[in-house]
Structure 1
């Protein structure tokens, strides 16, 4: 009996988080931490989930998951029309396997009843949750890629990028799309809006990638208390309004960072200056806990630079991924786990045996 295997990397945002939800360009880089999915057909028509990372196993009838996806679609429409913490909580729910059920249900809604079949699904991931490493984006990509292969969905009618975006909406509410596109494409990915308001994704592996990998370190400060969607719902109003000065500053720093990466080699001192400036704006936005700010000040005092990568955190002492540039082995960094994984790795791999 055939087994479908999908594998996709996580990501970190180099520049543009939060501001991207208001049209700003955003740059992200894939990280060699992987989400993997194994999918095998079953003869009894049931859907068996094995999620060892969550210590969860479950068996569902297909009709239940299709109905689950319909209900979540309605919750997302409510959130889209009235984005606030309350409507987001209704969208996200409390089920530990929420996102997996959403992905399966979405696929089932695209499959004719006569083509439905049972399967066993196993998911394992190295990517930290609620930490800015793109765990849900990689999960969405691997799930939708494997399920699309199982049900032989036409890629022209059901593009993988769109299917994964739908799943990401059920996790984050109004995602930028950068997470799952980076997992799908790999390397460094940019999202930019054209003059007509449409967003386009570009892989820098096809252009001129000058990422100073030797000078970059990634640390995990611990999972934030709040999910990305909760943080966005609580803070997005601070970047709204015509001529918003904080949004304008974030936008300006992102464009400067992009321009520096196009130089060969990028000037390290200038990169550090931009990273410090963007971090200062994230602190003004209120998503960097005080303990992490103290660590970043120590890094800056030593001559380096650092910034939160991703949503950050609203409370507690943890805020996910921390990008560090040209810094010594400071005692303040010893409290965090260094992510010893390659950057700018290839994207989705899909196979069948």
Structure 2
């Protein structure tokens, strides 16, 4: 289990072509932005998992032992399906939210809990963590802020649960994850995006995971060697 502080970041995105058609299986061309979301994860042993999102005024904590006792069988959804309304309501119960509508702040919390519980279920015990996320990306501006958030969360939680290697191990802070590691990060980030957006195309989290310029169609990602020009 990870013992030191982990820092990760992910970029926002701009879709150059196919922004609305991409959800119908058409080609989209997108590029990463030089604006990023940052995550700092600190493992500890106080029996709490704490989430701090200063940009949107969220600060919450849960008792790990209580989360461990929750029935999380509702998280066993297939990769090809978005969370059902019932599954989202169950997640709200775990979060301690009332039944009324979901604000952007609450959706961010629900996405975190979904990823934390889903990825952490393979562990003998859920990890105690302090997680802080802050961003240069404005929310609701179409720049992929939620995708960058989910990519950071997925990467950090997969690392702390040892599903992927720690890129900062042995001081190699500039090392990169393998293609297989990035595919796993992207897969889990997409699950977080589904909690927030219901039925996203997957292009936002793909660009945030892979960076650079991408061609995206029906879940298939191709890196572009040169940025597209008008």
**TM bracket (short chain):** 0.7 to 0.9
Higher relative contact order (CA 8 A, sep 6+): 2
Distance in 2 (alpha carbons) for counterparts of 1:91 and 1:15: 36
- Consecutive unaligned residues of structure 2, counting only runs of 5 or more, are 87-98, 166-179
Q: More helix by proportion, 1 or 2?
A: 1
On the 8 A contact 1:92/1:98 being kept in 2, the answer is: no
Partner residue in 2 for 1:4: 6
- Indicate how the Cα distance of structure 1 residues 183 and 92 shifts in structure 2: closer, same or farther if over 3 A, else same: farther
Distance 1:132 1:69 in 2: 33
Residue 115 of structure 1 aligns to a residue whose secondary structure is coil
Q: Distance in 1 between matches of 2:15 and 2:72?
A: 31
Return the offset for 1:46.
0.6
Given the alignment of the two structures, is residue 204 of structure 1 paired with residue 224 of structure 2, yes or no? yes
Superposition deviation, residue 100 in structure 1: 3.6
Deviation at 1:64, TM superposition (A): 4.1
Corresponding residue to 1:28 among 27, 30, 37: 30
Partner SS for 2:217: strand
Say whether the 8 Å CA contact 1:26–1:191 is kept in structure 2: yes
Task: Classify 1:60/1:69 alpha carbon distance in 2 versus 1 (closer, same or farther; 3 Å).
Answer: farther
**1:91 & 1:154 partners in 2: Cα distance?**
37
Match of 2:17 among 9, 15, 18: 15
| Alignment match, 1:170 | 195
* Aligned counterparts of 1:12 and 1:91: Cα–Cα separation in 2: 32
Equivalent of residue 184 in structure 1, options 185, 204, 209 = 209
User: Which one has a bigger Cα radius of gyration?
Assistant: 1
Residue of structure 2 aligned with 1:53, choices 41, 52, 55: 55
Whether the 8 Å CA contact 1:3–1:40 is kept in 2: the answer is yes
Helix, strand or coil at the partner of 2:140? coil
| Mapping 1:1-353, distance limit 5 Å | 2-62=4-64, 63-64=66-67, 70=74, 76-78=83-85, 93-94=102-103, 96-110=105-119, 111-112=121-122, 114-153=124-163, 159-193=184-218, 199-205=219-225, 209-211=226-228, 261=229, 271=230
Aligned residues: 195
Shift of 1:91: 11
CA distances 1:237-269 after superposition (whole Å, capped 9, x unpaired): xxxxxxxxxxxxxxxxxxxxxxxx4xxxxxxxx
Q: 1:192 offset after TM fit, Å? A: 2.2
TM-score between the two structures when normalised by the length of structure 2: 0.73
Asked whether the 8 Å contact 1:182–1:189 carries over to 2, the reply is: yes
